[in-house]
């Protein structure tokens, strides 16, 4: 199979922050949008910034990944979110990026890889 068959255009997806503490505080789940696929540089920068506590880089990346339903960033130098919402969004974005890998092929014999 050729690698070209895996190339796709990023799609805007809705992300739901529905942790019980957020719903209790704000009265309902909170939603934002992000792209289901990011560039390799954003992918590695995101995880490295989280691991190495590089907060300036992480802030820049988060601002580029928390989007409205048109794909436009909602956070600016003048506008920010409460820390509990940002924290939940960072965790959710990490989950999405961690799961953005393609599924491994199923071997012809034995059990499927996990």
CB 104, CB 6: distance < 8 Å: no
From the list 28, 21, 16, the residue with the least C-alpha distance to 89 is: 16
Cα-flanking dihedrals φ and ψ of residue 16, to 5°?
-110, 125
- Provide the whole-model pTM: 0.76
Structural domain tally of the chain? 1
Give the model's pLDDT for residue 114.
46
**Whether residue 12 has pLDDT greater than 90:** yes
Residue 110 lies in a domain: no
> Tell me, what DSSP letter sits at residue 113?
P
Residue 82 lies in a domain: yes
Confidence of residue 96 (pLDDT cuts 50, 70, 90): confident
pLDDT over 70 for what percent of the chain?
Answer: 86
Residue 62 lies in a domain: yes
Give the model's pLDDT for residue 58.
85
- Per-residue model confidence as pLDDT tens digits over 42-92: 888 888 888 888 888 888 888 999 999 999 999 988 999 999 999 999 899
């Amino acid at each position: 199979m050729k690698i070209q068959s895996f190339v796709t255009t990023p799609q805007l997806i809705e992300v739901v922050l529905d942790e019980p503490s957020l719903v209790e505080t704000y009265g309902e789940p909170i939603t934002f949008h992000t792209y289901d696929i990011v560039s390799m540089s954003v992918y590695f920068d995101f995880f490295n910034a989280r691991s190495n506590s590089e907060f300036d880089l992480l802030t820049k990346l988060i601002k580029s990944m928390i989007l409205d339903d048109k794909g436009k960033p909602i956070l600016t130098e003048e506008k920010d979110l409460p820390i509990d919402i940002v924290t939940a969004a960072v965790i959710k974005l990490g989950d999405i990026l961690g799961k953005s890998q393609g599924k491994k092929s199923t071997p012809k014999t034995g059990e499927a890889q996990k």
